[in-house]
Structure 1
Amino acid sequence: MWAQMLSAPGKFEAVEVEAPVAADLAAGQVLLATKAGAICGSDLPNFKGAPFPHPKNTGTWVTSAPGFPLHEVVGEVIASSHPDHAVGDLVVGWASGFDALAEVVVADGEGLARYDTTLEPATAVMLQPLACVLYAVEQLGDLAGRTAAVVGQGPIGLLFSHILKSRGAAHVIGVDRVDRSDAGKVFGVDEVVTASASLWAGSLAPRDRPQVVVEAVGHQVTTMKNCLDAVAFGGEVYYFGIPDDVVYPVDMMTLLRKNLTLRSGATIERRRVLADASAYLAEYPELRDAYVSHVFPVGEVEAAFNAAVVPRQGQFKISIDMA
């Protein structure tokens, strides 16, 4: 089968490898013929050469494993050892082996769910990040009447803005160094701030501080301090995503003196929240046309990742067509 494999930081090459077969499946797993994938921010450090303990790693200087590092996937079930997935089902969710840049993958069935097949696969793949953000917002409780800010208005931050608004936030602030005024209205942003997190946080008067702040930038440690500075007394900060650094410095005095809550977490109950994401997209169909801004063929996956590394106006979610 075909696959794409990292051969050096920032460099993919097409390879032919042996395809997994039904006999390889453990209980609860399915075999997927991939249809589409999408780039997550957590994939980018690996693309740039960050180490990853992948069990099929064949590289020395980068994590070289067929299909790595993509995990957001849409595919057709071609064999199943999961009771709720049948051959022929079209499903969306997690490629649990982080190997979706391949013709066929083995995946955990609990991380997959059927979806509305009127959606093109390159659009349907957005249900996976949407599920992650819906689960995170569940943890924040009642948002009615509160002011919420999202630091980082990339693909994840824009979904946070939309969901926070739809779940009752009275005023949503979107903060990004890239001008996101082109996306603000569609994604429920009441106040678009084009500035660094530090400049924005430093400009706030006490009465203007939001009760909820989401850190949706990731990949560095400084914005955590900015979020703690920005949030109102008694407020809550949610850190989203996979940290690049195991240990983050946290300003404990600010956390203490402002009586703050700092929250984070991984997405669990994946099949349930994927179903919730399908229902959410049906309720807000405008997201289908707005969220995926660029689609690359799989033969141009390196160009797709290079685009994702550089945020720019008009660029949101990047999908990869594997058909």
Structure 2
Amino acid sequence: MTRVNIAFLLYLVLVHDGNYVDSMDKNSKKESCRKRVKQRYDEIPGLSDVDIKNRESNESYSFYKDGRVGIYYVRQGQSIRSVSQSETQIWRGTNESGNAKKVLVEGIGKSQKMVTIYLWTNETMKFYKQGKNKPWVEIKTYQERLLNDKFLQNKNDLGASGVTEQNVKDNDSDNSCKISYEREVIPKHEYPPEITVILEETDGEDDKDKYIVKYRRESDVYDFYFAREAKCVAIKCEGFRLWELEEDGNYPVTLSYRRGDNIVTIRYKYGFELYVKRLDKWMLHPYLSRIKREFSPYMKKTNIKARELNLKDKDE
């Protein structure tokens, strides 16, 4: 073999080995890059994990407790990426769902628990545990939430699972929704005596000519419909002053009273407030009320101007 052929073969070997080494080096760099990205994601200071067994505040979130209800609020610049109970993972955020800003735990100290996760997208996810050694199950439908939400349940009517035979029969019936929402106008003497509506022009008296009441017999719900000229300034339930007008002109449009569940819902044009009875006391439910004040025309003009200035600065 001539010197030229030997040199050519050596050249091919060196080039081939060089390409192989380069490819190995590139692959190792990609793999190490992926590991660094994953490691950095796991160590991002703004992401925290919540264990509902831990009921203390830390640098990532604040914890507040009221009886058997606890709530975790993230601090500024922080987010919750997962929720667990000891070693059992209840929820973990994904690229699709994102992270959470608040976690509500109901049933502290009890075997039955409900966890509500509030995402930054203003969506909520609910998980329910029926008892000790039972799995955490996500509640996806509104009907399931009503049946399993211990905060709103009438314990005398519901069993341990939150479902009664009547619920099952109604759900299996094709006309259950139709029956539940059938309303009939009732005469004034059949209005629920627990509810007192105070109008602006009646000096604290209940003027029944300014509204009508429809009754849903199957669900024991009274729906109040106010006339356009009616200016409701206060509502009482069982003698307790439940609600008073705070914003001029933002009068209630409808009022629903669920007698069997002890729930009162006051609806406005721009949201609603939900009141429940707990331990013989009426209170505003802080997590099921939605008042969209940013869209309300009854906001102070200074606040609206401030928002407009902020938006203008951002656009520039």
TM-score range, shorter chain: under 0.3
TM (norm. structure 1) is 0.24
Asked which structure has the greater RCO (Cα within 8 Å, sep 6+), the reply is: 1
Structure with greater strand share of residues: 2
TM (norm. structure 2) is 0.25
